[in-house]
Structure 1
Amino acid sequence: HQWFVNILDKKEELLAQNDKMQWKPEFMKKRSNDWINNLHWDWNISRNRKFGIPIPVWRSLKTGEVILPSEQQLANGPVDPSVDMPENLPADHTTDDIKGETLVLDTWFTSGLSPLINQNLVERDGYTKSILPMSLRPQAHDIIRTWLLYTTLHAYLRDESIPFENIMISGFVLAGKNEKISKSKNNAKASPEQILGQWGADAVRYWASGGQLGKDMIFDEAELKNGQKLVTKLWNASNFVQMLTEGFDPKADFDTATLLATDRWIISRANQVIKKMQDYLNNYEYGLAKLAFEEFFWADFCDNYLELVKLRLYKPELFENGEEKKLAGQWTLHQVLLVILKLIAPYLPHISEEIYQNIFRATEETISIHKTLFPTDILTIDNAEAIVLIEQMEKVLEIVEQVRKFKTEQQISLGAELTNLVVSGPAEYLAEIKHYEDDLVGVTKTQNIEYLEKDGIACLCEV
């Protein structure tokens, strides 16, 4: 004999339950619906195995009737019919007249109870509110037809509820094109222990977070190398910021009106990436959120902002009101680096925690970066100003690129000084560039900037 749960007569109800949950990605709901629509048999929940959760029933050896445990007996804890007896025997029966069920439950039957198990666990810890439906079920696409379907069925049969508000479906890691990593095929390039030992936990986590929802990805050591590079760059950039901000007191009052245009630009970009990553993460698109972070960290922060401000911080005496401008740069660096660490902490938890403890723990109240909140805007900069700042910085960076190209063509060091830099263009263009003059002097290593009003935009370097 076997035990079944009726499911064929509940297809419409299960499809309706699917519609009540948010699917990420949406096309995975169709896969679930197709499976439900094409079911041809009820759910066999019994297995003839040595190990498993017992089916708590007995059978009469006299009549063949099924004997169930009482509600109180079930409430007292698990019932094992191989050793336990029912509290209430049928008329004219002794314990010798009944036999406990020897079949055990299918693992998906008990796995499908995971929301209730979680509710029970939190109640043991004293939490009395309901956590159902749970906010998220993360899983791979191969068990939509089992774990997810049967969890949904359990919830419907219990009280017509849904088990989860959101369903997040990931893909597989493949050994090659359309080839799953398999022990039997021995097609894994290395064991998990070997990969962690060679690349480190953060680099592996970085690689694993690169997939898109619902899509398989091929194991690629190049991505592990990229993760390792990011760990190294984050460490080196943080050490550089720590050196540039030596003596800075983040608890001291600071007037944000003294920020330079370059500072407001990087803050506006940080604000933008906070918003973009938050939107992606709210939709469980952690891979796209990671890409948004990388673009900001590598290009905006490391390649551009650090290069633009470092002379202002190294040698403030070269600039009018230099100490005030140095303080503006230090305040900005401190704020932006803290945001960077908070954004990348879920991806690189170990190195971000190490940097946080080294640089920020002494002045931050939170004992760990992993207990901090997701960042919010560093400073309110409206969208109109942010657009202007980004457009202006593009023009500034074009000049920087032209200077670097000139030095490369002249086969002189990028750190070599220019005696003069002539920037020409319309009056409006020149007025914009002048907002960035101090930092433009610093990054191009020019002794002087000369502005020439004319129709065309160009720059001329003089050694």
Structure 2
Amino acid sequence: MEQWVEGLKWDWCISRQRKFGVRVPVWYKKGTNEVIIPDEDKLPIDPRNCVPDGYNPHDLICDEDVLDTWATSALTPQINREIFNKCFPHSDAKSTFIPMSVRPQAQEIIRTWAFYTIAQSLFHESDIPWKNIMISGWCIAEDKEKMSKSKGNAVSPIYLLDKYGADAVRYWASLGSLGADTVLSENVIETGKRLIMKLWNSAKFVEKFVVEYDLSKVVHAIDIWIVNKIIVLIDIVSNHLEQYEYHVAILLVEEFFWKIFCDNYLEISKNRAYNEIDGHESAIHTLSFLMENILKLFAPFVPYITECLYQVLYTNNTDSIHSHGSWPSFQNIKDPYNVRGEDVFEMLRQVRSIKTSANISIRTQIDNMTIYCNNIMLKEVESDIKAVCNVSNIIWDFSSDSLQIDLSLC
């Protein structure tokens, strides 16, 4: 900014010839063209409605111009502070309102809005206006051209909202990385709509088992693993959001939701959740914990569906999922089993692949299955594997360095 200011070759014009805007508070005396400016303590004023002390309104002409929009919008931190102070006169927050945390804006108004705001804040407050500035790219058409009415490639947001819903459109927007242009793709918005439906369906399943969870009751091997998995994910996502890398954060949450939770864990835990058998209590406390925190992780990106499901499933929570302080944070629970969930999921993948290749249903009963691996702790999830793979007997061979499955299909 300093280099830009020092490099200016001429005075920068802050007035515009427009009908609407903040009028330049200046008068000119008829006959002499004397420039008259108001006393600073009288500002802000509209020169059309008043005159400076000691002058006759018939002797003056007020300036016809309005201020450059950036000259006034550059005061947004101060305007926001004044609004806050009027609404919350007894709050302690007003003393630390400037600098604010972050200003989000696009790159084409760095020289205008960002520079003007910094200059005004330094002048009025002797401080920077915000600690960080988050620069986004543009939304461009699917043909990679800038959207324009004249080109006929612009899309009404109302059309998108009516067709897909606000959450799906917001999902698309959250995938745009900072500083990079983002293509408006209805295919991506459609993907967001499918995500919302999957959230609804998975929550509908978990609703049968929701309890006020207690992590001390999570004792089953695969349950402990996935609880610790999402606890680590929460920390990783939090760090990305603090760095304004929201496009990375949502991909990580989405990967966990689809690949780990929906495709695998729901199937693995289903038998224990439905039936009063060993591990039942662990399963329902795990499902309750996972669903609530999946909703919280998705809440910044798809706020409406997550709020709806949160209120339906977790009725003991009277606050909104978006309430201040609702972001999750947990310590890992002790894992005596050291069972890698990825190995369990690989077993399921191989079983599904073998049954598909043999053109038999995934629910077809199998008498014997041999598991070749080098991790004896995988026996801790034998009952889960039997249930989800519909296998009567498992033979373990721990002499192999690679995980392989052999099914007796005869």
Distance 1:184 1:455, change over 3 A: closer
Q: Give deviations 1:254-299, integer Å, cap 9, x for gaps.
A: 5726511110111111112211111111011111111011110001
Alignment correspondent of 2:46: 80
Alpha-carbon shift at residue 185 of structure 1 (Å): 2.0
Within 2, Cα distance between the matches of 1:453 and 1:138?
Answer: 55
| AA of the residue aligned to 1:381 | I
Alpha-carbon shift at residue 378 of structure 1 (Å): 4.5
Alignment correspondent of 2:166: 201
More moved, 205-214 vs 153-162: 153-162
Alignment correspondent of 2:82: 120
Q: Give deviations 1:97-153, integer Å, cap 9, x for gaps.
A: 333222221111111111111122112224362311121111011111111111111
Corresponding residue SS for 2:109:
helix
| Residue number among 343, 366, 371 corresponding to 2:323 in the alignment | 371
Does the CA contact (< 8 Å) of 1:112 and 1:148 recur in 2?
yes
Distance 1:461 1:53, change over 3 A: same
| AA of the residue aligned to 1:103 | D
Does the CA contact (< 8 Å) of 2:337 and 2:380 recur in 1?
no
Q: Give deviations 1:31-55, integer Å, cap 9, x for gaps.
A: xx6x556533222011233322111
Alignment correspondent of 1:283: 243
Distance 1:42 1:249, change over 3 A: same
In the alignment, does 2:367 pair up with 1:419?
A: yes
| Residue number among 259, 270, 289 corresponding to 1:335 in the alignment | 289
Runs of 4+ in 1 over 6 A off after TM superposition: none
Alignment correspondent of 2:388: 443
Q: Give deviations 1:223-276, integer Å, cap 9, x for gaps.
A: 011001101111111111113x1xx5417xx57265111101111111122111
Within 2, Cα distance between the matches of 1:140 and 1:304?
Answer: 40
Alpha-carbon shift at residue 335 of structure 1 (Å): 0.6
| AA of the residue aligned to 1:110 | T
| Residue number among 399, 405, 409 corresponding to 1:454 in the alignment | 399
Alpha-carbon shift at residue 453 of structure 1 (Å): 4.5
Distance 1:155 1:242, change over 3 A: same
Alignment correspondent of 2:379: 434
Alpha-carbon shift at residue 176 of structure 1 (Å): 4.1
Distance 1:99 1:264, change over 3 A: same
Corresponding residue SS for 2:188:
helix
Corresponding residue SS for 2:141:
strand
| AA of the residue aligned to 1:445 | N
Corresponding residue SS for 1:351:
helix
Alignment correspondent of 1:107: 69
Does the CA contact (< 8 Å) of 1:309 and 1:442 recur in 2?
no
TM-score normalised to structure 1 length? 0.81
Within 2, Cα distance between the matches of 1:387 and 1:147?
Answer: 56
In the alignment, does 2:137 pair up with 1:141?
A: no
Corresponding residue SS for 2:317:
coil
Within 2, Cα distance between the matches of 1:278 and 1:123?
Answer: 30
Alignment correspondent of 2:132: 166
Within 1, Cα distance between the matches of 2:269 and 2:311?
Answer: 25
Does the CA contact (< 8 Å) of 1:265 and 1:386 recur in 2?
no
Within 2, Cα distance between the matches of 1:344 and 1:312?
Answer: 27
Q: Give deviations 1:417-463, integer Å, cap 9, x for gaps.
A: 2112222344xx2x221121121112211112222343455432224
Alpha-carbon shift at residue 355 of structure 1 (Å): 1.1
Alignment correspondent of 1:18: none
TM-score normalised to structure 2 length? 0.91
Alignment correspondent of 2:348: 400
Distance 1:182 1:450, change over 3 A: same
Distance 1:403 1:192, change over 3 A: same
> What pairs with 1:300-315 in structure 2 (closer than 5 Å)?
300-315=260-275
Counting matched residue pairs gives 404
Does the CA contact (< 8 Å) of 1:343 and 1:374 recur in 2?
no
Alignment correspondent of 1:352: 306
Corresponding residue SS for 1:207:
helix
Within 2, Cα distance between the matches of 1:181 and 1:450?
Answer: 62
Within 2, Cα distance between the matches of 1:238 and 1:378?
Answer: 22
Alignment correspondent of 1:187: 153
Within 1, Cα distance between the matches of 2:218 and 2:328?
Answer: 21
Within 2, Cα distance between the matches of 1:55 and 1:416?
Answer: 81
Alignment correspondent of 1:221: 186
Distance 1:298 1:258, change over 3 A: closer
> What pairs with 1:85-96 in structure 2 (closer than 5 Å)?
85-89=51-55, 94-96=56-58
Corresponding residue SS for 1:239:
helix
Gaps of 5+ in 2: none
Alignment correspondent of 2:20: 51
State the identity %.
Answer: 39
Within 2, Cα distance between the matches of 1:236 and 1:59?
Answer: 70
